[in-house]
Structure 1
Amino acid sequence: MQIKQYRSQFIQALSVIYDEGEAESFFYLILEEKKQLKRIDLALQPDLVFSEEEIGIWNSILEQLKLEVPVQYLLGKTHFYGLEFEVNENVLIPRPETEELVDWIVSNNQITKSTNPLRILDIGTGSGCIAISLAKNIPNAQVFAIDVSEKALATAKKNAVMNQVEVHFIKTDILNINDLEELPTSNFQLPAHFDIIVSNPPYVRNLEKEEIKKNVLDNEPHLALFVEDNNALIFYKKIAELAQKNLSQNGQLFFEINQYLGKEMINLLENMNFKNVELRKDIYGNDRMTKSSVQ
């Protein structure tokens, strides 16, 4: 079968679930991964064909997409901030909003002009996308990353190797730590203080589950997504408490946040005496990230 003919069938089969543009993007993502062909290749060589074996593979993928399994999980990888990351059911799929958070940190003038080693801690690292992207893009960074999930950390470690950066990973439940100096380490020395602490912790309230797309709700790890309605800022409060003790002078605290709790986050940080508190919107116009400092 000609690839362009199968493409039409593929998009039509998914049109009841996804819009045409999204279905088409899935097709070309898979085409590049499975056959190393891009859109331009198909345009220039319209007579290219799939073998029967290839059609079987594509049909299997198509059935999974109909069940709304994320295409990133089916391919086993995704791209984030110009880098490639392995993803699986043990980690969240990195979002564009999180890329904006990383870019905010990377582009911060105080950071990029620093000549001293910059000590960074990423709390709730998941796939490692934040920690690894910062290690890759800030040459003088010394990066540490925490997660409660052993399986998530295994994925993050693979991603650090794949992207040729050094990140020190630590398994712990941050809610059970009173001081970052308590963190269990074996083959590396943990700094007494950090210049940057960043976190994209669980922040979706159970009451917001109805807003979550089925492909996320049914496939991505709930441990990394949800918090109780009556304690939605539990991770932020805990991490801010740790930051008070373990950020260096003029150190910075960055958060990705629930879009509906921007004011609550500002109040939390200001009430805990953080300075220069800034709330920033994402590309979709939602309150999505904060920056603050200790002095």
Structure 2
Amino acid sequence: MLAKDYRNQFIEKLTPLYDVLEAESFFYIILESFHKMKRIDLALHPDFAFTDQETYKWNQVLERLEKEIPIQYILGETHFYGLEFEVNENTLIPRPETEELVEWIIKKNEFKGKVKILDIGTGSGCIAISLAKNLPDAEVFAIDVSEKALETAKRNALANEVAVVFMLKDILKAENLEHDFDIIVSNPPYVRNLEKEEIKKNVLDYEPHLALFVEDDDALLFYRKISELAQNNLNEKGELFFEINQYLGSEMINLLEVKNFKEIELRKDIYGNDRMIFGRK
């Protein structure tokens, strides 16, 4: 079948569930993954056709998209901060907003030379690995409560040719951290149950709830615990970075003030939501 004809059928089948632009973006993501072709390549080769075997493979992906399984899980990969990462049901799919957090840390520390960094709740390892890749003199550590997530993160570090020390730890039960650090960063669970109705089905049904949700009555549980640990295990003038719930910016400022952090800065993401915060010990 001609790829351009299949493209039209593919988009038509998905438009009851996704808007046209998203359905079209899925087609080109898969085209690049399966055939190493970009949109322009297909335009330049209008006679390019799928074999029967390739069409069968495409149809399998289409069926899973119709069940609203995230395309990143279907393909088993995603891109984050210019790097490729394996993702699966044990890890969250990295978001563009988190790339902004990584960018902030890099810009603040790119000329500091040797710094020791800890990423808490690393998941796929996207934050820790991106920092290790872009701050080559840094010593990077990463913690997660999920053994399976850490296995994925270790494979991602190997694939991206960086050294990260991964540790299995439940941060909520930690009395202290093994080392002192110059930078602690975390993108912990922060979605309240009351916000579930805002979450798309493909996230709610397939991404790990352990990494997403907190109880409504204690939404800052992880932030409070990590801030306390940071008070003990950040070096003098050390930096604390969080990705946060967009509705809890003022509460986060208050939390860091109570924990005696200085130079507190709340930043918005590309969508105009309060999304990341910084404090200095």
TM interval, short-chain normalised: over 0.9
User: Hey, what does 2:33 align to over in structure 1?
Assistant: 33
Equivalent of residue 144 in structure 2, options 139, 144, 147: 147
The residue that corresponds to 1:167 in the other structure is 164
Distance 1:156 1:168 in 2: 10
Give 1:16's aligned amino acid.
P
Say yes or no: does 1:17 pair with 2:17. yes
| Structure 2 Cα separation of the partners of residues 38 and 82 of structure 1 | 17
Mapping 1:235-274, distance limit 5 Å: 235-274=222-261
Whole-Å separation in 2 of the counterparts to 1:6 and 1:259: 40
Alignment-derived partner of residue 268 in structure 2? 281
Report whether the alignment pairs 1:44 with 2:44: yes
Corresponding residue of 1:176: 173
2:191 corresponding residue in structure 1: 204
Residue 97 (structure 1) aligns with: 97
Q: 1:58, CA displacement in angstroms? A: 0.8
CA–CA distance in structure 2, aligned partners of residues 77 and 112 of structure 1: 28
2:116 alignment partner, SS class? strand
Aligned to 1:220: 207
RMSD across aligned positions (CA): 0.6
In the alignment, structure 1 residue 134 sits paired with structure 2 residue 131 = yes
Alignment correspondent of 1:7:
7
- Name the CA distance, whole Å, in 1 between partners of 2:132 and 2:31: 31
CA distance in structure 2 between the partners assigned to 1:18 and 1:200 by the alignment: 28
Question: Residue by residue, what CA displacement relative to the aligned partner does 1:241-278 show, whole Å, maximum 9, x if unpaired?
Answer: 00000000110000000000000000000011110110
SS in 1 for 2:263: strand
Report the Cα offset of residue 41 of structure 1. 1.3
| Alpha-carbon separation, structure 2, partners of 1:165 and 1:113 | 19
- 1:113 Cα deviation after fit: 2.0
Q: Deviations over 1:2-40 (max 9, x none)?
A: 100000000010011111111111001101111122111
- Unpaired runs of 5+ residues, structure 1, are 182-190
- Number of residue-to-residue matches in the alignment: 281
User: Residues 147-185 of structure 1: CA distance to partner in whole angstroms, max 9, x if unpaired?
Assistant: 00000000000000000000000001000011113xxxx
Matched position secondary structure for 1:198: strand
After the TM superposition, list the runs of 4 or more consecutive aligned residues in structure 1 that deviate by more than 4 angstroms.
Answer: none
SS at match of 2:158: helix
Q: Distance in 1 between matches of 2:50 and 2:136?
A: 44
Which SS does the other structure have where 2:69 is aligned?
coil
Cα offsets for 1:73-107 (capped at 9, x unmatched): 11110000000000000000000000000000001
Corresponding letter in the other structure for 1:113: F
Q: Distance in 2 between matches of 1:194 and 1:260?
A: 29
State the SS of the aligned residue for 2:267.
strand
Please give the secondary structure, in 1, of the residue aligned with 2:235: strand
Letter in 2 for 1:64: R
In structure 2, the partner of 1:185 is: none
2:162 match: secondary structure = coil
Using the alignment, how far apart are the partners of 1:282 and 1:5 within structure 2? 38
Q: Deviations over 1:198-257 (max 9, x none)?
A: 000000000000000000000000000000000000000000000000000110000000
Unaligned runs of 5+ in 2: none
Q: Counterparts in 2 of 1:102-117, with a 5 A limit?
A: 102-108=102-108, 111-115=109-113, 117=114
SS class of match (2:73): helix
Q: Match of 2:151, SS? A: helix
Distance 1:265 1:36 in 2: 44
Does residue 233 (structure 1) correspond to residue 220 (structure 2)? The answer is yes
